[in-house]
Structure 1
Amino acid sequence: MKKVPIGVSDFKELITENYYYVDKSLFVKEIIDDGAKVILLPRPRRFGKTLNMSMLKYFFEKNDEDNKCLFKNLKVNKYKDIMDMQGKYPVIYLTFKDVKDGNFQKCYEKMKEIISIEYYKHKYLLDNHLKGIEETYFKKILSMEASQGQYETSLKNLSKFLSEYYNQKTIVLIDEYDTPIQSGYLSGYYKEIIEFMRNFLSGVLKDNEYLQKGVLTGILRVAKESIFSGLNNLEVCTILNNHYSDKFGFLEGEVEEILKYYNIEFEMDEVRKWYNGYMFGENVIYNPWSILNYVKNHEKGFRPYWVNTSSNDLVKIVLTKAGETVKKELEDLIKGKTIVKQMNEDIVMNDIENGSENVWSFLLFSGYLKVINENLKMGRSFCTLEIPNFEVKYLYEEIILAWFKESINNEKFNYMLKSLTTGDIETFEDIFSEYIIKSASYFDIEESEKFYHAFVLGILVALNEEYEVKSNRESGYGRYDVALIPKDRNKLGIIMEFKKVNKRRKETLEIAADKAIAQIKEKNYKQELLDMGIENIIELGIAFEGKEVLVVEG
């Protein structure tokens, strides 16, 4: 039985070392048939980008090894005209997937090392080919002693050296091009890394007479104006396009074949719930990392594999800083509803936090949402979005619970919820007050809407086994209400009305809390629960003023 290829991203190793391979070799044909000079393929992490780029390298690269045998049992081998191009080109191949550093200098040093290693692979150019200035330049890059400007032109110059040596234009493959950019955004050196990457990439990809074709992968399409300025020969194929839509991730039939091969085909329905749900173009796609991990560890049951492979720092930061509207819509998504949003395929990292369409675009292209339907209006893309599967829903729930648990420890958080659901309002008020005081690092104290939505999301996630959570808001009046409806009708039903103190009207916490109770009575929220057969009901008026909170039972 073939080995499960978890973490194997070298194509040759995968083919020769008896690993199971889902045949994506027609990716080579699609690249060759594509008339674009430079192709950017943004896909979520762990969806097979590095393996596919490694396959391109072994297919195109001209060297002393005979790599044609790697493709003899694959789909692409049926196309003689394509196979005639195997091993015919000099290739530059770089992957930046591990460039995740806390400052620009460390990031830059790691990139210098990656470039130097690629130069080392072609050190044969120093044997009676490069002379004078070119030889000196090559050796400086090799020894990591070149200037930043020289590193910025290093790929363009290497493509020239290779093309002249082989009398053939060069293919340039750059995997995970935006990993350093995301690290720069997270760690405060975005401006420096963008400037370097702009010069580095445009040098080799823009108007380069030695370039046969360039292929880049990443997670996001970073906007042209920030990095690909002036690159008119760039084709971008995102997950909304049909081009290449079946080349990353696993198709339904491919997953069925994998499960059958490993004798676990009976788990297909649960596999769909946990790891399916993506739409790339018109294709239903499964998360390959999660599928392979599940196959290897299926006796342990279903669990989130993909969301645990990295820190998800950027997602957490984006959602934490998001406004009231985003948090309310996230609440709807967790409840299984859909939202319709305009998508922005050109993402400027600095603008992710500005405007909800940037947040949702980032989450979609990063693999945290799926498209159900896309409508084009006046050239703009409007997508109906939902959470793709159980695995990603788990991530959102973890992020939401982290908002609480960063402020109060896990034991105290659970005690707060227990106090609420058992009617111990005094204890609930004490712990809830502590949460508000300690949450100042997350939310602007004056923005009670954010407290409200974070709290609602928290109880929605934490109590979803026992309670249905309903919420409404009248934000223009500073009022928000929540109903906790027990699934066991004998348990306590809870109605909460949140009220922000109106300083202009010289309200106090007591007055605001009393008004909240009056609102519950006036709107007769209790009747809905009584109609459901719930007789044990408490009504809570919760008033906010700065870091102070008062909870009054009606």
Structure 2
Amino acid sequence: MQKLPIGMSDFKELIETDRYYVDKTDFITEIIDSSAKVILLPRPRRFGKTLNLSMLNYFFDKEQDNRALFKGLNIAHNTNAMEYCNGYPIIYITFKDVKEENFEKSLLRIKRLLSNEFLRHKKSLNSLELEEIEERQISNILDESATQVDIEESFKLLSKLLTKAHNQKCIILIDEYDTPIQTAFLKGYYEEMVGFFKTFMGAVLKDNDVNLYKAVLTGILRISKESIFSDLNNIKVYTLLDNPFSDKFGFTSNEVKAMLKSYNLSDNFEEVNRWYNGYKIGETTIFNPWSLLNYSDSGAFDIYWANTSSNDIIRILVENSDGFRDDLKYLLKGETVEKVINPNITFKDRDFNFNEEMLYSFLFFSGYLKYTSKTWKQGEHICQLAIVNVECQYIFRKIISNWISEKFSNPRLRVLLKSLTDGDLKLFEKIFSEFVRDTLSFYDTGKNVESVYHAFFLGLLVNLSDYEIISNKEAGYGWVDIIVLHKEEKEKLALVIELKTIDEFEEETKEKALISAVKQIEEKAYVSEVQKKGYKHILAFGVVFDGKRVWVKEG
């Protein structure tokens, strides 16, 4: 049984160590056949971007013969495509580790990357009769003393010299181009970084046809054209909304079935489908490749993808969103929300932190949400969005709990949860009232939107790791707001909770609202659902909210 290539991003190492490989070499053919000179492919993290660019590097690189790496793979049977093998000088760089505290440190790291790339081509450069200014520029780049201007024009210079040395145009591969830009936004030097990349990209990709055959760029997001690519008219962008290249990143259903069969896990396909499927790229359904590799290796269902990166920008957007908490209620129930998805991410907008369109576009293109349907209307992508799968459901629940955990100490939260599971409603009412008072803003509570309180309550309850939290489920003769059940011990106290907000229009009092909540539990026979599951000790109660005030009444 072949070992799995977990964490491997070097194509040559993967093939030479005989790791299991999902054949994506048709990606090469699609690149060759594309009419675009410059191709940008934004995809979620851990979807094989670096591995695919590494594959392109080994296939096209003129300075080494790598034909043996592709023996037996799909591309080897394509005689037309194989004519391009080892036919081009390659300029290859990845910016995935450029995550510095300021622009100066970022530029130093970029200088090091560029120096290494020039050093890789030293033999070709030494074969040329160079102008004095070219020698000086190369020397400065190699010893990392180059000015910012020289750095910005470095790839244009390198493409010119390699084309001359090999009598062949270059292919340029740039991996994770947007990592430094996202970091710069978070650290406060966005304008400087965008200014650098706009000049750097423009120099090598624009009006450089004499030295450029193709360029392929990957990242997570498409940074707005007016920010970086405004001067390029030869770039083609294929996002998650587009059909070209849709099956080249991530695994298709057939590829997953073949992998599971190889590791004697075929019987678990339906559960695998529930946990790791659901991504839509164009019209193609795609599984998360990182999660699938880890699952096939361990044979255990777990949260693999969620723990591989920080989500700082998404967090900023979530925390500043007025409507996200309302939408979260529906998303956690498995329902959809209709939103505009913008393929162009514009960080420079002064209202970016509070822009709902940017929030949902980030969540979509980063792989946390999928579209179940989409339409193109008046120049906008209107999408019905849903949480992708079980693994992503965990991420959303974790986000909710983070609203609470950062503002309250864990001991206080433990006391709150213990009062709830012990059935001490008097203590629970007291502490829960403090949580609502100190955490929710008046904007959140001003309209008495029940869904805000509901999502807030769920954010607390997800910390009960030994309990199953059921939300908005059909029970008895209606839909119960929240049920809390111990996962293993049915002797433990089970909770049935009905939430209400005071109806100001009806001039409702807290007493009437509490009676109404308790009455609804009884009339709709919500407790019967819990009894059917074998729980004997059941506490049913109503919770009434009015702004930042909370009251509880036992049923």
TM-score range, shorter chain: 0.7 to 0.9
8 Å contact kept, 2:543–2:550: no
8 Å contact kept, 1:92–1:159: yes
Task: Tell me: CA distance 1:437–1:147, structure 2 relative to 1, closer, same or farther (3 Å).
Answer: farther
Q: 2-side partners of 1:434 and 1:103: how far apart? A: 40
Q: Match for 1:336 among 334, 350, 353?
A: 334
Task: Tell me: CA distance 1:469–1:515, structure 2 relative to 1, closer, same or farther (3 Å).
Answer: farther
Task: Tell me: CA distance 1:168–1:220, structure 2 relative to 1, closer, same or farther (3 Å).
Answer: same
Task: Tell me: CA distance 1:531–1:35, structure 2 relative to 1, closer, same or farther (3 Å).
Answer: same
Question: Alpha-carbon deviation of 1:515?
Answer: 3.3
- Which position in structure 1 is the counterpart of 2:319? 320
TM-score (norm 2): 0.87
Question: Alpha-carbon deviation of 1:153?
Answer: 0.9
| Matched ranges for 1:327-406 at <5 A | 327-351=325-349, 352-406=352-406
Question: Alpha-carbon deviation of 1:491?
Answer: 4.5
Q: 1-side partners of 2:251 and 2:424: how far apart? A: 50
Note the residue ranges of structure 2 that are not aligned, 5 or more in a row.
474-479, 528-538
Give the SS at the match of 1:371: strand
Asked if 1:494 is matched to 2:492, the reply is no
8 Å contact kept, 1:407–1:435: no
Fraction of identical pairs, as percent? 45
Task: Tell me: CA distance 1:365–1:420, structure 2 relative to 1, closer, same or farther (3 Å).
Answer: same
Which digits, 9 at most, give the CA deviation of each residue in 1:382-408, with x for residues without a partner? 111111111111111112112212222
- RMSD over aligned CA atoms reads 2.7
| Matched ranges for 1:344-493 at <5 A | 344-351=342-349, 352-420=352-420, 422-436=422-436, 439=439, 444=441, 447-448=444-445, 452=453, 455-459=456-460, 461-462=462-463, 466=468, 468-470=470-472, 483-485=481-483, 491-493=494-496
Task: Tell me: CA distance 1:72–1:227, structure 2 relative to 1, closer, same or farther (3 Å).
Answer: same
8 Å contact kept, 1:4–1:20: yes
Q: 2-side partners of 1:123 and 1:438: how far apart? A: 62
- Which position in structure 2 is the counterpart of 1:232? 233
Q: 1-side partners of 2:33 and 2:48: how far apart? A: 21
- Which position in structure 2 is the counterpart of 1:479? none
Q: 2-side partners of 1:446 and 1:381: how far apart? A: 29
- Which position in structure 1 is the counterpart of 2:476? none
Question: Alpha-carbon deviation of 1:532?
Answer: 3.1
| Matched ranges for 1:55-66 at <5 A | 55-63=55-63, 65-66=64-65
Note the residue ranges of structure 1 that are not aligned, 5 or more in a row.
472-481, 503-511
Give the SS at the match of 2:354: coil
8 Å contact kept, 1:517–1:541: no
- Which position in structure 1 is the counterpart of 2:512? 518
Asked if 1:532 is matched to 2:536, the reply is no
Question: Alpha-carbon deviation of 1:550?
Answer: 5.7
8 Å contact kept, 1:517–1:540: no
The residue identity in structure 2 corresponding to 1:345 is: P
- Which position in structure 2 is the counterpart of 1:245? 246
Task: Tell me: CA distance 1:436–1:526, structure 2 relative to 1, closer, same or farther (3 Å).
Answer: closer
The residue identity in structure 2 corresponding to 1:400 is: I
Question: Alpha-carbon deviation of 1:314?
Answer: 2.5
Task: Tell me: CA distance 1:256–1:484, structure 2 relative to 1, closer, same or farther (3 Å).
Answer: closer
TM-score (norm 1): 0.87
| Matched ranges for 1:258-273 at <5 A | 258-273=259-274
8 Å contact kept, 1:423–1:538: no
Q: 2-side partners of 1:213 and 1:88: how far apart? A: 12
Task: Tell me: CA distance 1:527–1:415, structure 2 relative to 1, closer, same or farther (3 Å).
Answer: same
- Which position in structure 1 is the counterpart of 2:536? none
Q: 1-side partners of 2:424 and 2:313: how far apart? A: 38
Which digits, 9 at most, give the CA deviation of each residue in 1:33-57, with x for residues without a partner? 0000110000000000000001111
Worse-matched range after superposition: 127-136 or 155-164? 127-136
Q: 1-side partners of 2:368 and 2:464: how far apart? A: 23
Question: Alpha-carbon deviation of 1:197?
Answer: 1.0
Q: 1-side partners of 2:438 and 2:129: how far apart? A: 66
- Which position in structure 1 is the counterpart of 2:40? 40
- Which position in structure 2 is the counterpart of 1:157? 157
Task: Tell me: CA distance 1:281–1:92, structure 2 relative to 1, closer, same or farther (3 Å).
Answer: same
- Which position in structure 2 is the counterpart of 1:506? none
The residue identity in structure 1 corresponding to 2:207 is: D
Q: 1-side partners of 2:135 and 2:77: how far apart? A: 43
Q: 2-side partners of 1:238 and 1:270: how far apart? A: 28
Question: Alpha-carbon deviation of 1:2?
Answer: 1.5
Question: Alpha-carbon deviation of 1:30?
Answer: 0.3
8 Å contact kept, 2:57–2:173: yes
- Which position in structure 2 is the counterpart of 1:222? 223
